[in-house]
Amino acid sequence: MLTMIAFDADDTLWHNEVHYQDAQEAFKRIVSPWADGKTADQALHETEMQNLRLYGYGIKAFVLSMIECAIQLSESEVGGYAIQQILSIGQNMLKAELVLQPYVKETLKSLSKSFRMMVITKGDVLDQTQKVERSGLAEYFSLVEVVSDKTTESYQKIFTKYRLDPQTFLMIGNSLRSDVLPVLELGARAVHIPADTTWVHEMVPDFEGSHPNYYKIDSMAELPALITELV
């Protein structure tokens, strides 16, 4: 029995990480007078990790980390024009067209006829809620939850808030760290659909995949058949 099917948003419903990768390439060109590409990549990653507790996830947090990293790499030599370029990168990311993952709309339309569905995503509330609306998928979801991070505690709060039984809850997402492991720990089921590109922070290299409530599929097109088996 399933009383709620939840979906991650970025890189599960639509492509997202590709925008960060393009932005990082642009950032490396901006700071190239002071650092080579490998150094810039490492410095930006370290800056992002240090800032997660302060800024959380999302494009705005990413922009702040790029600005801070540029100042550090240039030893404060970076000028106003370069900072404006970084701000423009972020603005373009916020306005970027949403490209749905394959089979997403067809799958959601089909499942919505039989199941309640919700979105659970992390990041900036305004950006993420606007994405759901812009995607053309909002009609298929009864609930949208934007959290600062996806942990066992944040999922438990959602279960409590909506009186959801973990044993009848299913989470679908591309990230082992955010979409799979926390819900498995709480006794729920999780479906992993790996994305073409995944942020290194979301990877869990030592995950074995032997948990009885864990399922892995290659495409959203396979989800309806899997859910039919589960129920």
What total of structural domains would you count in the chain? 2
Q: Whose CA is closest to 120, among 42, 1, 197, 10?
A: 10
- Both 117 and 208 in one domain: the answer is yes
- Both 28 and 114 in one domain: the answer is no
Q: Is the pLDDT of residue 50 over 80?
A: yes
The range of the structural domain enclosing residue 78 comes to 17-95
Domain end marker among 48, 76, 95:
95
**Buried-state track 25-58, b at ≥16 Cβ within 10 A, e below 16:** eebbebbeeebeeeebeebbbebbeebeeebbbb
> d(Cα 90, Cα 97) in Å, to the nearest integer?
14
Domain end marker among 68, 95, 122:
95
Domain end marker among 95, 111, 138:
95
Q: What are 136-185's pLDDT values in tens digits?
A: 999 999 999 999 999 999 999 999 999 999 999 999 999 999 999 999 99
Q: What are 69-104's pLDDT values in tens digits?
A: 999 999 999 999 999 999 999 999 999 999 999 999
- Both 118 and 226 in one domain: the answer is yes
- Both 172 and 199 in one domain: the answer is yes
Q: Can you give the CATH number for the domain in which 190 is found?
A: 3.40.50.1000
- Both 102 and 201 in one domain: the answer is yes
- Both 108 and 68 in one domain: the answer is no
Residue 18: band (very low, low, confident or very high) from pLDDT cuts 50, 70, 90: very high
Residue 201: band (very low, low, confident or very high) from pLDDT cuts 50, 70, 90: low
Residue 15: what pLDDT?
95
**Average confidence (pLDDT) over 198-216:** 78
> d(Cα 74, Cα 178) in Å, to the nearest integer?
34
Residue 210: what pLDDT?
84
Q: Give residues with Cβ within 8 angstroms of 88, minimum separation 6.
A: none
